[in-house]
Amino acid sequence: MAEINRQIHLVSRPTGEASTDNFRLIEKPLGTPGEGQVLVRHHFLSLDPYMRGRMNDAKSYAQPQPLDKVMQGGTVGVVVASKHPDYKAGDNVVGFGGWQEYSIVDAGIPGSLRKVDTSKVPLSAYLGPVGMPGVTAWYGLMKICQPKPGQTIVVSAASGAVGSVVGQLAKTRGCRAVGIAGGADKCAYVTRDLGFDACVDYKAYMGKSGDPKSLYQALKEATPDGVDGCFENVGGPVLDATLARMNAFGRIALCGMISGYDGQPIPLQQPQLMLVSRLTIEGFIVSEHMEVWPEALKELGMLVATGKLKYRESVAQGIASAPEAFLGLLKGKNFGKQLVKLV
Amino acid sequence: MAEINRQIHLVSRPTGEASTDNFRLIEKPLGTPGEGQVLVRHHFLSLDPYMRGRMNDAKSYAQPQPLDKVMQGGTVGVVVASKHPDYKAGDNVVGFGGWQEYSIVDAGIPGSLRKVDTSKVPLSAYLGPVGMPGVTAWYGLMKICQPKPGQTIVVSAASGAVGSVVGQLAKTRGCRAVGIAGGADKCAYVTRDLGFDACVDYKAYMGKSGDPKSLYQALKEATPDGVDGCFENVGGPVLDATLARMNAFGRIALCGMISGYDGQPIPLQQPQLMLVSRLTIEGFIVSEHMEVWPEALKELGMLVATGKLKYRESVAQGIASAPEAFLGLLKGKNFGKQLVKLV
């Protein structure tokens, strides 16, 4: 057992764009689990866009990430030592251990730790398609978009951990799945590998010389029958374009607006379309809908185990790489689920 | 029986602001009802903000108002002659007779004509609190905002035909009702006469030298516990302010956005609040929810008949005054339900 537990702390809050200066690598002596506790060695750390919001000290749905504390985040790992009757060394577990190599978990707290079966589903997938991002996709699509066969579903950040699941699930419901992603390589992956019907490369239209109207035009060609359900991860001009393609009684699941995470204004240009098209828009956070997790994880696990749900990972190596990998995620440099491998 | 039926036609579509030049007074010989038809003399014509949208030849929820035809609109009147077994001369009826003094109605078409009882509810009220505006208020509040006792409901255009009903209904559900209206006189009416708990005069903050932040500040003082339900008729800075006051899981009924009816941009400045506060926003048109009309009209009729639901009318006299009265309505010059009296 290592003597040292390396951690990443948040040491300052970003003004505007986040930078590596906001983080610091800290070495702490590794403790031992007390009664009811479990020592977990993290194999993978999950990096997710929502973490950017928590770095601010602003009104948000979650408490801000405290300064000079370990960055919070999802983890998968293996039990090293246990003083809780339900866990033993060698168990594969999912938890919320944060940006560090080890964590000591009060395993009796509901939701703190969950044993997972890695015989058919790889451990890392429990941070992606069979974890929080997968359930996020499932909830937003099934409960908010409520897809019907023959409908068109549009999802932004389509090659990402959430978006990739949204489109593939939409296909299982008999929908036309249309992605929006940044770059030709991501779009090719979305259509060829993930089986979406179409994908619009927003970077081809939204560059510095770009014109939002051309993005709309490209989306129009990809959605000849309009859009019935939108799963939004990006916001800004991407959402403006989709809004203008929505059919009457369309439904929008608002999951993220990563285009505004650094505080830049991202006004919605034509909110009157919500009225004209009688849309329903719902913002949500998957952790507030724990009731759907069992049903969602069952389907997602089955789909991954049988190879029907494809996914891709960007893996950074070592805890020290976490800040840079996270900043890259915010800029769309990742390709699929962004992980940090710690073993 | 008059020989002449005076009508207002739409003769051109506005570019930007509508003007009286878009309308023309036409005199037509008055016909006689054929088999199954009813001749109705209109006593009141309803003027409503939605009519502005139909004057454009743009994508909207309704077919555009055709050029060189009678302007469409709700009417109440009295049957003059009938060749339909369900109607006889002297019947009080609500219909959709348009901007003209008489109409000949195919009374067999469902929804074309409805007999009403004027013993306890004045005829004109069937164009207001016990008509389309009242049901609009009822649907948006009850079905979308879903008010619970103790919650705060904000409604814009609070002294208008719809807004005035929203707040009074919210009070019957045990809510704090807060209006937003244009002018001190309207605000005084909303709180003193209609019984709202508070009213914010947006004109005091949104003038040419105004600052949207001061509107937010005034709304904050009027909504110390935040806002749980918003019934939106205006859009623009008014909606921006309310959005920033919404509590988690707040609900917004999007009924109208009159601030943008002339085509001016009315961007929503902080759409990310929909996500941060996990809001549900729903645009609706009451004519698409006919299933609630009986229940809504029953309650609204009872409330008006017993004097528990108060309302106010701005009455223009004579069909020729309709265009100017309508343009005034779009600028908020009316005070309460805008009608044109034709007898």
- CATH (domain of B41): 3.90.180.10
pLDDT score recorded for residue B210: 57
Kindly state whether residues A272 and A156 are assigned to the same domain: yes
Residue A290 and residue A139: Cα distance in Å, rounded?
A: 10
CA end-to-end span of chain A, whole Å? 13
pLDDT at site B284: 97
Residue A181 host element (H or E): strand A176-181
In this complex, do A282 and B278 lie within 8 Å of one another by their Cβ atoms? yes
Which among A60, A281, A285 is the top mutation candidate for probing chain B, defined by the most B β-carbons within 10 Å of its own β-carbon? A281
Are B267 and B136 contained in the same domain?
yes
Partner residue facing B275 (CB), from A279, A283, A288: A283
Q: Is residue B244 part of a domain?
A: yes
Q: Which of A235, A271, A276 sits opposite B61 (nearest CB)?
A: A276
Closest by Cα among B124, B120, B128, B125 to B159 = B128
Q: Any residues with CB less than 8 A from the CB of B266 and at least 6 apart, and which?
A: A271, A272, B235, B236, B257, B259, B260
Residue A208 CB contacts under 8 Å (≥ 6 apart), including other chains: none
B31 with B116, same domain: the answer is yes
Q: Which chain B residues are within 8 Å of A255, Cβ to Cβ?
A: 275
Looking at the fold, whether B234 and B317 belong to one and the same domain comes out as no
- Domain check: are B109 and B254 in the same one? no
Q: Is residue A239 within 8 Å of residue A268, measured between CB atoms?
A: yes
Q: Which residues of A touch B258 (CB under 8 A)?
A: none
Task: Give the chain A residue whose CA is nearest to the CA of B257.
Answer: A272
Q: Which residue has the tokens 């009684």?
A: A249
Give B258's Cβ-side CA count (13 Å radius). Answer: 23
Q: Are A87 and A68 part of one and the same domain?
A: yes
- Which of the residues A251, A276, A286, A288 would you substitute to probe the B interface, choosing the one with the greatest number of B C-beta atoms within 10 Å? A276
Nearest to residue A18, comparing CAs of A45, A55, A71? A55
Closest CA in chain A for residue B245: A59
For residue A263, name the pLDDT band (cuts at 50, 70, 90).
Answer: confident
Is A294 inside any structural domain? no
Distance, CA of B281 to CA of B182 (rounded, Å): 24
Chain B residue with minimum CA distance to A59: B276
> Under an 8 A CB cutoff, do A275 and B260 touch?
no
B224 and B94, same domain (yes or no): no
Task: Give the structural domain span for B267.
Answer: 132-287
Residue pLDDT, tens place only, A123-145: 999 999 999 999 999 999 999 99
Answer yes or no: is B236 within a domain. yes
Q: Which residue has the tokens 């807060």?
A: B178
β-bridge pairing B246-254 and B227-232 = parallel
What gap in Å lies between CA B105 and CA A11, rounded to an integer? 74
| Burial degree of B100 (CB within 10 A; 0-12, 13-18, 19+) | buried
Nearest CA distance, A145 vs chain B (angstrom):
13
Give chain B's domain count: 2
Task: Give the residue from chain A lying closest to B272, CA to CA.
Answer: A257
Say yes or no to pLDDT of A100 above 60.
yes
B233 and B245 both lie in a single domain: yes
Of A257, A268, A280, the CB nearest to B268: A268
**Whether A271 and B235 lie within 8 Å, measured CB to CB:** yes
Quote the pLDDT of residue B209: 53
The contacts of residue A209 (CB under 8 Å, 6+ apart) are: none
| pLDDT attached to residue A61 | 65
What CATH number is associated with residue A261?
A: 3.40.50.720
**Cα gap B53→B78, rounded to integer Å:** 29
Secondary structure (3-state) at B188: helix
- From A70, A9, A78, A72, select the one nearest A43 (Cα to Cα): A78
Instruction: Tell the residue number behind the tokens 């996709």, with chain if given.
Output: A137
Q: Same structural domain for residues A277 and A208?
A: yes
Is residue A137 domain-shared with residue A124, that is, in the same domain?
A: no
B248–A61 CB contact, under 8 Å: yes
d(CA A173, CA B97): 45
In a domain, B170, yes or no: yes
- Lowest model confidence (mean pLDDT) among A254-263, A296-305, B4-13, B315-324: A254-263
Is A271–B257 a contact, with Cβ atoms under 8 angstroms apart? yes
Q: Is the distance from CB of A16 to CB of A311 less than 8 angstroms? A: no
- Cα four-point dihedral sign B39, B41, B46, B47: positive
Residue B264, SS3 per DSSP:
coil
CA distance readout (Å), B46 to B73, B111, B338:
6, 17, 7
Find, among A54, A73, A74, the residue nearest to A127 by Cα: A74
Whether residue B37 is contained in a domain is answered as yes
A27-41, A202-216, B40-54: segment of lowest average pLDDT: A202-216
Question: Does residue B48 sit in the same domain as residue B90?
Answer: yes
Contact A276 B59 (CB under 8 A): yes
Q: For residues B317 and B343, is the Cβ–Cβ distance under 8 A?
A: no
With beta carbons less than 8 A apart as the criterion, state whether A101 and A5 touch.
Answer: yes
Nearest-CA distance from B249 to chain A in Å?
9
B267 close to A267: Cβ distance less than 8 angstroms = yes
Numbered residues of chain B with Cβ closer than 8 Å to any chain A Cβ: 53, 59-61, 235, 239, 248, 254-257, 260, 265-272, 274-285, 288
Report if residue B262 sits inside a domain.
yes
Would the CB atoms of A279 and B284 count as touching at under 8 Å? no
Is A185 a residue whose pLDDT tops 60?
A: yes
Is the pLDDT confidence value at A319 over 80? yes
Backbone phi, psi, residue B120, to 5°: -120, -15
Domain presence at residue A302? no
Q: Which residue of B has its CA nearest to A246?
A: B59
Q: Would the CB atoms of B277 and A283 count as touching at under 8 Å?
A: yes
Q: Å from B262 to nearest chain A CA?
A: 12
Of the candidates B235, B275, B288, the beta carbon closest to that of A254 is on B275
A326 in any annotated domain: yes
Q: What is the pLDDT of residue B229?
A: 98
**Following DSSP, what letter does each residue of B193-240 receive, concatenated?**
IT--SEEEEGGGTSSTT--HHHHHHHHHHH-TT-EEEEEESS-THHHH
* Beta-carbon count within 10 A of A337 CB: 29
CA dihedral B336, B338, B342, B343 (to 10 degrees): 0
Do B12 and B109 fall within a single domain? yes
Q: A-side interface with B, Cβ within 8 Å?
A: 59-61, 235, 239, 248, 254-257, 260, 265-272, 274-285, 288
3-state secondary structure of A287: helix
| pLDDT in the model for residue A208 | 53
pLDDT of residue B168: 98
Please judge whether B255 and A235 are an interchain contact, meaning their C-beta atoms are less than 8 angstroms apart: no
- Which residue in A239, A266, A277 is closest to B283 by CB distance? A277
DSSP line for A222-237: H-TT-EEEEEESS-TH
Alpha-carbon distance B309 to nearest alpha carbon in chain A (angstroms): 27
Closest residue to A269, CB basis, from B239, B265, B280: B265
pLDDT of residue A209: 53
**CB–CB of B278 and A257 under 8 A?**
no
Distance in angstroms (rounded) separating the CA atoms of residues A25 and B314: 69
User: Interface pTM (ipTM) of the complex?
Assistant: 0.91
B25 three-state secondary structure? strand
Q: Cβ separation of A269 and B267 shorter than 8 Å? A: yes
Q: Please give the pLDDT value at position B111.
A: 87
Contact A283 B268 (CB under 8 A): no
Beta strands at B337-341 and B313-317: parallel, antiparallel or unpaired: parallel
DSSP annotation string for B159-171: TSTTHHHHHHHHH
DSSP notation for A36-82: TEEEEEEEEEE--THHHHHHS-SS-SSPPPPTTEEPP--EEEEEEEE
All residue ranges of chain B with pLDDT < 50 are: 1
A271 vs B contacts (CB less than 8 Å):
235, 239, 257, 266-268, 271
Q: Is the pLDDT score of A206 beyond 90?
A: no
